[in-house]
Chains A and B, each alone.
Chain A
Amino acid sequence: MKRTFTSSRSLVATFMMGMAVFGIATIGCGDSKPPANSGAANSGAANSGAANSGTVNGGAAGGGSTVTAPPAKFTLAWSEYPSWSIFGVADEVGLIDGKAGAMGSIEKKYNIDIELLLASYDQCITLYGNSQADAVCITNIDILGAAGSRNSVAIMPTSTSAGADACITAGIKSIDELAGKPTRGLEKSVSQYCFERCLEKLGKNPADFPFSQMDPEQAAQAFQGKDDKIPSIMVWNPFVMQSVRSRNDAHVLFSSELIPEEIIDMVVVGKDSLGKKGGSDFAKVVVETFYAMNQRMNDEKTRAATLIGIGARFAKLELEDMKTVVTQTRFYSDPKDAVRLFTEEKFQKETMPLVSKFCVKYGLTQAPVELSFGTGKGVMDFDTTFVKEYLEQPKK
């Protein structure tokens, strides 16, 4: 009797454990892609049903489309940042559908299925560097480290930091007062690069200004909590904005305004992925989506709604804050401007070599990364082909 009792009890326990595992798996799946889910729900409304049809049959169900082959699948890893959250909003308005197996209007045009992977910035770098994503939203500094493990092509710049990275101090009114006092921020990152470059621009020796490691979010929190051991932080937005506001004695000592167009946010595709079937179409979809969203942002009628959309995907900022954010993070809204940046001498001969030097100095790369600009020869190539193709497209 006792035996039967025990075994039935263990059966029940096993069953319950199985249910628990199943439950966790389901919750995990639901949680990992909130934008994709909400996007699917909204895209139907935005496109009056067009986006919802043909999820499985690809172009065939699109009506009148001649494409019959199943769409090539690509993944784009993005983190919440003004010019990258645009992809999250594009998913919401139905230009692309971030879920695998579903396509938005631009995806359909090229018969490409893009999956958006939302992760933290550091995770995005790891995803991309370890070939778990075809493309990534990344800065021109961090990409050099990742290019060491994967040959890369930057297909377009999305924005540049013009005040979005800043050194914020409390009780320190001048640069000379900062000497010898620790500044907290993320090492080997845009923050440290910006810190050193600004000091150089101001005629100081960066070696006199200690910079020590702390996660930007934690540094901002500690600063906002008036931790007197943290008189100075070097962080990026939204932490810049929050920190300046949080205390009356907070003061922006210097910011990336001093180094215009040195910190570039971009979309980078792995050379291997670009070479895959449909790779260049994937790049075209990304480029077209970005500029289509920029048009919405610059159009008076849709500007507020687009900014609110981006804000919802960037630290839950409201419209007024977003208006400030886009002045500190200047978008490359005009494709001509993007081509100008990647092809001009300053970027090729000054900015990138400086960045490369920084990466070697702090061990992001062992040796200078071999750079090329549109020739495709380097380990890291800055290619304007796709933006130019977009420019040459006949406009509606």
Chain B
Amino acid sequence: MIRREIPKWLFLALAIGGVVALLVSYELLSERQTKINPKQTTIPSFAKLNEGLQKIFQPQGTEENPKPPMFWNDMRATLWRLLVGLGVGVSASIVVGVLMGAYRWIEAPLSPVVMFLSKIPPTAMMPIYFAVAGTDQRMFTSMVALGIFFSMAQSIYQAVRDNVSDESINKAYTLGASETEVIYEVIWKQILPNVIDCVRMQIGPAMIFLIAAEMVVSDAGLGYQIRMQSRVLNMNIVFVYLVILGIIGLIAEFGLVWLRRWLCPWFEEGAR
């Protein structure tokens, strides 16, 4: 029967089984590939992956020009770009989204523009970013920020319209709240969980834009390293980096869910 409960221990066992099945099938695939070509690096064995893991923490560069281990170098570059881009994009979209939801005369001119631009895939606009914003931090920031801005502004604006009832706004006015107080105390506080969920949803797309851009123009970062290492067929490093990307995604996901529960305990997914 659909949605019939299963015991908790069974659920846990099946969850572990899924992960184990993934690892085992990977290992089998790797062994099969090694049988075809003993020198293969396409699907590295776990021993090779471990080598890759060691390697990313070793100092890089040449003797006359030493560089830090690639992992820290790439993580610093990528995370900084991501955080700055997200920061700018999220704050801008909150301001625009809330104002659009609050004032009809802001909503009217902006909503068609925002709606249209949110439909263009930012990766397709990459050549424009390169041409307009150059190739340094400014380009990554504007790419991530604008990449998430339009769809986030759109969702926040809708959250304000749909989730904040006229009654609560009227009540606040009746109790003598000023316009800024209504926006902060009523609108902002009510849509905060939606905003956090929105950020959670946008981290994936933001990573896509960032990694894609890093593969083309950058001399550090996870995207850069994945491209360069796959070019020289060091797939063991590529796989380790993919796992790292997965972990970053999981941390962001759980972190934001926890943040939402902590900031807005009154809000539960089911209650929407």
The chain A residues found within 8 Å of chain B, CB to CB, are: 122, 125-126, 129-131, 142, 145-146, 148-151, 184, 187-189, 207, 212-215, 218, 221-222, 225, 227, 229-230, 272, 361, 363-365
A145: which B residues are within 8 A, CB to CB? 231-233
Partner of A188, one of B36, B218, B231: B231
* Minimum distance in angstroms from B241 CB to a CB of chain A: 15
Closest to B218 in A: A213
* Minimum distance in angstroms from B240 CB to a CB of chain A: 15
Cross-chain contact A187 with B39 (CB below 8 angstroms): no
Residue B25 lies at the interface, judged by CB distance under 8 Å to chain A: no
Partner of B134, one of A215, A227, A364: A227
Interface size range of chain B in the complex: 20 to 34
A125: which B residues are within 8 A, CB to CB? 231, 233
* Minimum distance in angstroms from B221 CB to a CB of chain A: 10
Q: In the complex, A258→B65 CA distance in Å?
A: 25
Cross-chain contact B135 with A214 (CB below 8 angstroms): yes
Residue B69 lies at the interface, judged by CB distance under 8 Å to chain A: no
A218: which B residues are within 8 A, CB to CB? 130, 135, 216-217
Q: List 13 A-B contacts (CB under 8 A).
A: A142-B231, A149-B40, A150-B37, A207-B64, A213-B217, A213-B218, A218-B216, A222-B130, A222-B135, A229-B134, A229-B136, A363-B60, A365-B232
Which 9 pairs show the lowest CB-CB distances between chains A and B? A213-B219, A149-B41, A145-B232, A129-B233, A130-B42, A212-B219, A215-B216, A364-B232, A149-B233
State which residues 118-146 of B face A: CB under 8 Å.
Answer: 127, 130-131, 134-136
* Minimum distance in angstroms from A133 CB to a CB of chain B: 13
> If A126-B233, A221-B130, A361-B62 touch, does A188 touch B136 (CB 8 Å cutoff)?
no
Residue B149 lies at the interface, judged by CB distance under 8 Å to chain A: no
State which residues 175-211 of B face A: CB under 8 Å.
Answer: none
Q: In the complex, A188→B225 CA distance in Å?
A: 12
Q: In the complex, A148→B60 CA distance in Å?
A: 20
A151: which B residues are within 8 A, CB to CB? 39
The chain B residues found within 8 Å of chain A, CB to CB, are: 36-37, 39-42, 60, 62, 64-65, 127, 130-131, 134-136, 215-219, 224, 227-228, 230-233, 235
Cross-chain contact A272 with B217 (CB below 8 angstroms): no
Q: In the complex, A332→B127 CA distance in Å?
A: 37
Cross-chain contact A363 with B233 (CB below 8 angstroms): no
Closest to A147 in B: B39
Cross-chain contact B130 with A207 (CB below 8 angstroms): no
A126-B230, A227-B135 known; 13 new pairs, CB 8 Å cut-off, are: A145-B231, A148-B41, A148-B232, A149-B37, A149-B40, A149-B41, A150-B37, A184-B135, A187-B219, A207-B64, A213-B218, A214-B217, A363-B60
B233: which A residues are within 8 A, CB to CB? 125-126, 129-130, 145-146, 148-149
B231: which A residues are within 8 A, CB to CB? 122, 125-126, 142, 145, 188-189
Closest to A361 in B: B62
Closest to A151 in B: B39
Cross-chain contact A272 with B228 (CB below 8 angstroms): no
Cross-chain contact A213 with B135 (CB below 8 angstroms): no
Partner of A131, one of B37, B62, B127, B217: B37
B227: which A residues are within 8 A, CB to CB? 122
Q: In the complex, A361→B65 CA distance in Å?
A: 11
A361: which B residues are within 8 A, CB to CB? 62
Identify the interface centre among A122, A130, A272: most chain B CB within 10 Å of its CB: A130
